[in-house]
Structure 1
Amino acid sequence: METPASFSLSNSEIIDLGQRSHDEQIIIFLHIPKAGGTTINGIINQQYRKNCTFRFDGIENRYKLAELEQYQRSKLKLIRGHFAFGLHEFLSCPAKYFTLLRNPVSRTISHYNYLCRSSSLPNHEKVKEMSLKNYILSDLSNNNLQTKMLFGLSNVPAYSDEEILTTVKQNLENQFSVVGLVERFDETLFFLKQAFNWRVPLYIQQNITPQHQHIQNNVDNNIIDIIKEKNSLDLELYEYAQKQFEHQIAESKKDFYQNLERQKRINQLYQPFGSTYNLARHFMLKQLKKF
């Protein structure tokens, strides 16, 4: 895997978010594409006022954050987007990250399907003419994307895959409050609620925790093997994250499962209300497009 270049900062690159205590650390949601982020963003919108969050994609676009007025930056509680690890190095205050990982096979297939059907995306025209196999073998697939994003703008030199994975694991251990799993979505929400003192997170139960086998049913085993080969770092990272996740559950309080079931029951009660809201919102947006 190509190693990203290390970086150094000048004072002019530091983005002032105001003076903050340890308890007021800015939260950074590192959103890996096709890893549950759309649902998480909806939950974030339940937890914070609009002027308390800011979104941009690409670490190179952090200047958009710097362009906010000082009083706006000082109110921020959470920054989110598709960007590489390392944003905290550009901030004037302490920060804590969270992210969700997804089984690399499922994530790759899902990303391919998303590119094929989303005409607004830059590579849509190219990808829709490709088979899944050709996509995986092309540069457009961006294999080992999860590892690349979490290695990010590391100051730690890495010359081998083993060193890259070691650095990524250290990043997760030292800088991330929660490393969730798409396949364990409800447990992930429970840990997010605990870590950031959120209200009970509510979401509509659709395409949230797709079964790993279900998404592969129509994919040839040879192609799955190619995905695994091309994403070997992501596979090892995901296996590591799974073990850490299970360890975190084992270390939780005895009432973990009781509280988790309570959270699930509340979310189940929310389904008809949330579904109605989503349908109404979709209808209104469709009508507005006509004007």
Structure 2
Amino acid sequence: MLKRRRKTICLIAIVILLSSGAFFALPKGVTPTSEERASRPLAKSSPNRLSATSPLSQRSDKRGKPKGSISMDRYNRIRDGLRCTRLNPRLLLFPRVPKCASTSISTLLYLVSKKYQYAFIENTDGARAWTPNDVKEATDKIAKTLAQNNSRAAYVRHFYYNDFRALGVPYSYITFIRDPVERFISSYLYYHKSDLKHIKALRWREKIDSNENIAECLKHKRGGCETNLITRYFCGSETFCEKGSALALDHALMHLLRRFAVVGLVEDLTTSIQLLGHVLPRFFPREVKLPDSVMHRNANKKSEKDKMALLRDEETVKLIQKANWADVVFYDFAKKLFYRRIKMCGIG
């Protein structure tokens, strides 16, 4: 009777671990094969359920702003259990975070897709249009492409994190991020100073004054001044993800740890691409050198000069950091995670 009870308890414990997604935090010394990792299903628990023990859920007020310091112990424990493992998914998902070298990486994917024999699916719509109908349309298109090629595919678009388990195929997420202050300034300048026709039209449509400063842009919530956008992309399309709340940050961090194969840094683009080639060898080459016309296709000397001037303004930087507090916390953690993976994978 005692043996049977112990066996039942063990089975229950295993079910709880699987349903909570804890198997993504692998103990040291246990590294599954690429086929095992590629075919392993995602956790069946709701991707939007916040654990009652979350350090963020216990430290937020009614407005979703953190009270005091935020404990990162929970995320650090999961991070410390991750291993360097090659993955072999059938589907690669690349949600393009605005102003984070996404055009360059999309170009890289397009260039190598034929050599590595996978379908390249790109949608140029913005994440603002990421409605349930858009999700269904994307899912149907991906499923159709995979069925036709009976192989692999990469889906590229500005979109918020989404659970694609309905496809029934192993998939991996990748993306790139950058310092939140630099990303915000780049976005602000793009919307306010760009000479591109569609941006000029957007300024006219949304009545954006190209001469307004960052403080005014934040106050009126203009285009290009969306706050905590990195956190939003990793959190998802749920309502609570729309603002930089503690709840949104919690989900963003958990998705980063449990759903993303690689999150590269714009500041270290070459090493990031090397990590992509190491972890996802059937989608990326281990070594690659893109032409300057690709890597710096959006560079603008006037814009760079304006950006540096804003970065030297301490009050402006503090204002941006305060408005994007969740992105600052997220980026700091993601950066440490990136260099930990680089070290574990023996790159550099």
- Which TM-score applies when normalising by structure 1? 0.70
The aligned counterpart of 1:52 is 119
C-alpha deviation, 1:138, in angstroms: 2.7
Question: Residue 218 of structure 1 aligns to which amino acid in structure 2?
Answer: A
C-alpha deviation, 1:30, in angstroms: 1.2
The aligned counterpart of 2:289 is 202
C-alpha deviation, 1:107, in angstroms: 0.5
Question: Residue 107 of structure 1 aligns to which amino acid in structure 2?
Answer: R
Q: Is the 8 A contact 2:232 2:244 kept in 1?
A: no
The aligned counterpart of 1:34 is 99
C-alpha deviation, 1:69, in angstroms: 9.2
Q: Is 1:218–2:309 an aligned residue pair?
A: yes
The aligned counterpart of 1:79 is 155
Question: Residue 82 of structure 1 aligns to which amino acid in structure 2?
Answer: H
After TM superposition, the structure 1 stretch with the greater mean CA deviation from structure 2, 172-181 or 58-67, is: 58-67
Q: Is the 8 A contact 2:176 2:264 kept in 1?
A: yes
Question: Residue 72 of structure 1 aligns to which amino acid in structure 2?
Answer: T
The 3 A distance-change label for structure 1 pair 215 and 232 is farther
Q: Is the 8 A contact 1:179 1:241 kept in 2?
A: yes
The 3 A distance-change label for structure 1 pair 96 and 134 is same
The aligned counterpart of 2:6 is none
What whole-Å deviation, never above 9, does each CA across 1:78-132 have from its counterpart, x for those lacking one? 1111000015245332221001111111101111111121330363333325323
Q: Which of 272, 279, 282 is matched with 1:188 structurally?
A: 272
The 3 A distance-change label for structure 1 pair 54 and 87 is farther
Question: Residue 137 of structure 1 aligns to which amino acid in structure 2?
Answer: K
The 3 A distance-change label for structure 1 pair 25 and 224 is same
Separation in 2 of the partners of 1:27 and 1:221? 40
Q: Is the 8 A contact 1:97 1:176 kept in 2?
A: yes
Q: Which of 117, 120, 124 is matched with 2:198 structurally?
A: 120
Separation in 2 of the partners of 1:145 and 1:237? 11
Q: Is the 8 A contact 1:43 1:201 kept in 2?
A: no
Separation in 2 of the partners of 1:177 and 1:243? 15
Written as runs of structure 1 = structure 2, the 5 A alignment for 1:92-241 is 92-116=168-192, 117=194, 118-121=196-199, 123-125=202-204, 126-127=207-208, 128-140=210-222, 141-153=225-237, 161-197=245-281, 198-199=284-285, 200-205=287-292, 206-207=295-296, 216-219=307-310, 220-241=313-334
Q: Is the 8 A contact 2:235 2:241 kept in 1?
A: no
The 3 A distance-change label for structure 1 pair 139 and 246 is same
The aligned counterpart of 2:345 is 252
Q: Which of 84, 88, 108 is matched with 2:164 structurally?
A: 88
Separation in 2 of the partners of 1:160 and 1:108? 14
Separation in 2 of the partners of 1:239 and 1:250? 17
Separation in 2 of the partners of 1:167 and 1:66? 22
Superposed CA RMSD: 3.2
The 3 A distance-change label for structure 1 pair 228 and 157 is closer
Separation in 2 of the partners of 1:187 and 1:166? 27
The aligned counterpart of 1:11 is none
The 3 A distance-change label for structure 1 pair 70 and 229 is closer
Q: Is the 8 A contact 1:86 1:154 kept in 2?
A: no
Secondary structure of the structure 2 residue equivalent to 1:246: helix
Q: Is the 8 A contact 1:42 1:203 kept in 2?
A: no
Q: Is the 8 A contact 1:54 1:65 kept in 2?
A: no
C-alpha deviation, 1:216, in angstroms: 4.6
The 3 A distance-change label for structure 1 pair 62 and 134 is same
| Contiguous gaps of at least 5 residues in structure 1 | 1-20, 258-291
**Rg (Cα) greater in structure:** 2
After TM superposition, the structure 1 stretch with the greater mean CA deviation from structure 2, 67-76 or 83-92, is: 67-76
The 3 A distance-change label for structure 1 pair 242 and 68 is closer
Separation in 1 of the partners of 2:329 and 2:142? 42
- Which TM-score applies when normalising by structure 2? 0.59
The 3 A distance-change label for structure 1 pair 168 and 67 is closer
